[in-house]
Amino acid sequence: MSNRAGDEVRTRDLQLGRLSLYQLSYSRLINAFLETHLHERK
């Protein structure tokens, strides 16, 4: 069997990409929520 390190690297990158997308969308939701509520208080 050959060592296919290239496949493992791509798999890890995909997992990191999914985590980054999740964090980005979560932070955007929080920012939108906070902006809405901060504008309502003024």
Domain boundary assignment for the chain: 17-42
Q: Which residue has the tokens 């690297």?
A: 9
> Quick check: 25 pLDDT over 80?
yes
Residue type, 28: R
Cα(29)–Cα(40) distance, rounded to whole angstroms? 17
In this structure, is the dihedral angle defined by the CA atoms of residues 23, 29, 30 and 32, taken in order, positive or negative?
positive
pLDDT at 9 (0 to 100) = 59
Note the residue count of the chain: 42
pLDDT attached to residue 15: 76
Q: pLDDT tens digits for 29-41?
A: 999 999 998 877 6
Query: Which SS3 state, helix, strand or coil, does residue 31 take?
Result: helix
How many other CB atoms are there within 10 angstroms of residue 13's CB atom? 10
